[in-house]
Amino acid sequence: MFSATEVFSVSGPSHIISVDWTNAHHRRAIAASLVEAAYKIERDRQENRQGPQAQAPPYWEFFHFKLNHVLIDNVDNSIFGAIYEYNFPNPHLFNHNHNQLNPPKYVIAFHGTLTQPDTRSRDLKLDFQCICNTIHESSRVLLAMEAIQSVVSKCGAKNVWLAGHSLGSAVGLLVGKNMAKMGFPLETYLFNPPFISAPIESIKEERVRQGIRITGSVMKAGLSAVVKGHHNNHKISSQENNDRDTFNVLSAWFPYLFVNPADHICSGYIGYFEHRQKMEEIGYGKIGKLATKISVESILSSALGKETEAYDLLPSAYVIINQTPSPDFRRAHSVEQWWNPNFHYRSLTYQFSR
């Protein structure tokens, strides 16, 4: 059984009757709708809903997409993502001017954690891997990379979107970074992406938050210097050079990050980017840039002879902050907030410079 509020015509972005692909709200809402469809595909599978009973199809069909392929986790055989292909309703009207915004030919979307019995154990393990910065080792990321490379090789990076929510955003961020490093930056929509840090954003006093962040940046810079000296400059210098090169390569890629201050899972991105800017303003730009590129985990891993990269650190991004008050965590972490036409938001652009 399911609630009527879960039906697309009731709770989906059905208010977008005529899509304007140059409209940022439309693009965001459609990306969110396709992520929600990925959730519902797996729920339909678990509850054996088929044909007219299936909840998922309206979330892509309404916007003239068709389901091209589903991505199946080889550990628990659950569907963790989907590839949608755009069906041009009027192909002769398609705008071939690459300076204009067109619909994507393909969208690859990943859902987040599902608490249903069939998927709960696997998804919670992947959540833990996010916290431990080992999500890149999961088979789910490897399968996602294979799928994305296949689609990009078929139609080019400019015709492909990436989208994800929560755990799915972590997968999308990793594969998006990998594609950007290879010279294929994809238009990417990440809803409530996990940022692994202490919940500093929940502290109401701004001066206290800034003090904690500045202390943390100085600590990371000092720890990096100590470990670097202990290893006679070789290993850590190599890691720092890799970090620097990675950030320079990725600086031209601008994923869209949709975050809610009331969601502790993603709210750390707000402070992450604001702090980097603040460090520039107070004359500690070099320390701020170093802290932006490294994590304590990567420093300690380097000390142990391992080279790791924190998956959630980014040089550049469009950050969209939902400023509409959320009554509870569920609303603050939901996908549907991002297709609400009336939500108030603040949009910021951050670009890393050397």
For a pLDDT cut of 90, what percent of the chain falls above it? Answer: 57
Cα separations (Å) of 11 from 4, 81, 83, 179, 345? Answer: 9, 21, 22, 34, 20
Q: What 3-state class would DSSP assign to 333? A: coil
3-state SS track over 3-49: CHHHCHHHHCCCCCCCCCCCCHHHHHHHHHHHHHHHHHHHHHHHCCC
> pLDDT tens, 231-243?
544 444 444 555 5
Find the Cα–Cα–Cα–Cα dihedral 304, 133, 263, 144, rounded to 10°: 160
**For residue 71, what pLDDT is reported?**
98
Asked if residue 342 lies in contact with residue 279, where contact means CB atoms within 8 angstroms, the answer is no
Considering the domain boundaries, does residue 143 fall inside one? Answer: yes
- Judge whether 115 lies within some domain: yes
Q: Please name the amino acid found at residue 312.
A: D
pLDDT in the model for residue 239: 47
Contact 174, 136 (CB under 8 A): yes
- In this structure, of 42-46, 126-130, 216-220, 339-343, the range with the lowest mean pLDDT score is 216-220
Model pTM score? 0.84
Q: Which of 108-112, 282-286, 309-313, 346-350 has the lowest mean pLDDT?
A: 282-286
User: What proportion of the chain, given as a percentage, has pLDDT over 70?
Assistant: 72
Phi and psi torsions of 39, nearest 5°: -60, -50
In which band, very low, low, confident or very high, does the pLDDT at 191 lie, cut at 50, 70 and 90?
Answer: very high
- Dig out the tokens for 174 from the structure: 């990793």
| Domain assignment of residue 178, yes or no | yes
In a domain, 210, yes or no: no
pLDDT at 14 over 50: yes
Using a 10 angstrom Cβ sphere, with 0-12 exposed, 13-18 middle and 19 or more buried, the burial of residue 209 is middle
- Higher pLDDT among residues 181 and 277, named by residue: 181
Least confident of 11-25, 91-105, 108-122, 219-233: 219-233
Average pLDDT, the chain: 82
Contacts of 300 (CB under 8 A, 6+ apart): 227
Domain of 12 in residue numbering reads as 4-191
- ∠ CA(206), CA(266), CA(306), 5° rounding? 105
The pLDDT of residue 4 is 59
For position 118, what pLDDT does the model report? 87
The verdict on residue 336 lying in a domain is: no
- Asked if the structure places residue 41 within a domain, the reply is yes
- Flag whether 84 is in a domain: yes
Specify the number of domains making up the chain.
Answer: 1
Domain presence at residue 200: no
Residues 125 and 145: their CA atoms lie apart, in Å, by: 20
| Per-residue pLDDT, 132 | 84
